[in-house]
Amino acid sequence: MDFDSSCENKRTANESMLVCCMLYISEARNRAVLDLIEQAARLDPESVIVNKFEDRVYNRIRFTIVSYVVVDSTGSPIYSPLHQTVLTMVEAAYGAINLELHSGAHPRLGVVDDIVFHPLARASLDEAAWLAKTVAADIGSRFQVPVFLYAAAHPTGRAPDTIRRELGYYTPNFMGNQWAGWTIPEILPGAPDEGPNHVSRTRGIVMIGARPWVALYNIPVVCTDVSTARQIARMVRARDGGLPTVQALALVHGDDSFEIACILLEPNQVGADRVQAEVEMLAAQEGLEVEKGYFTDFPPEMIVEKYMNLISSRRD
């Protein structure tokens, strides 16, 4: 039996072993570029874009892509359509976007800024980590871009914010609250996990990880003072003594508003309602108005449902 037919048989048997890829790209204003990247994703019908989140102020898009993982007789992962789909999208992004010309209100390290794999349904974190490391090796060698691995994809399980702090990710370099062009030295202070130590100013760096599901929740605050917005974010996030398992960053989002952009690392323990209430309380102390927050993606159960519906319609 050849590899392709073997994969097809195992795919049928293991279709509930799904992995979700969150692919963050530093562009949301050029429709032709976004369409080009999306067309690349649609070359393989076994990979499905189940959601997109675009923000023109941040100048950033996230594609949520799902497919299956094939395992061998020992249970080790050997193939996923996501591998080639992600590489094809990355190639399209590098060919169409120049980081030196990019600006936006969201921090970033590269044209392809972050790629994170989450296990869904019956897949395990091991399968997601295998896929993350496989993709990382190919991006590093094929595109000559430094790759930093994190969470389950890295031997120490290091957190992505640790890498970001080391590389200056959180420091705006334009107008006090914007990121423009390349922001760090072209020669990295330490070796990346994959790819060269030298950084292309047009492509930058990519971080790649694998971890359990996290929820992304943004809360708009009507505010014009950056220091006040940042103080609210500090008081919310766990790192500075705020809510446990919550990460938060204040980002400008219009002429008179900020967003407290939150990552809920354990949304079943500390959820959006609690974070919303905390931000409202802190903002009220400053006399600020807070709008209802919003999730930037579907919950995992809905992502699986959307994938199954879309893949079924493609095969009919």
State the DSSP string of 47-106: SEEEEEEEETTTTEEEEEEEEE-EE-TTS-EEE-HHHHHHHHHHHHHHHH--GGG-EESS
Each as own residue / partner, the long-range contacts of residues 267-273 (CB below 8 Å, 24 or more positions apart, any chain) are 267/213, 267/214, 267/215, 269/244, 269/245, 270/243, 270/244, 270/245, 270/246, 271/215, 272/215, 272/217
Which residues are within 8 A (CB) of 203 and not within 5 positions of it... i.e. 6 or more apart? 94, 99, 110, 111, 112, 143, 145
Give the tokens for residue 126. Answer: 């091991």
d(CA 224, CA 253): 10
Q: How far is CA 286 from CA 262, 283, 290, in A?
A: 20, 5, 11
Which of the following is catalytic: 106, 118, 154, 253? 106
DSSP 247: E
Identity (one letter) of the amino acid at 14? Answer: N
- The answer to whether 260 and 246 have CB atoms below 8 angstroms apart is no
Q: Is 106 a catalytic residue?
A: yes
Catalytic residue numbers, as ranges: 106
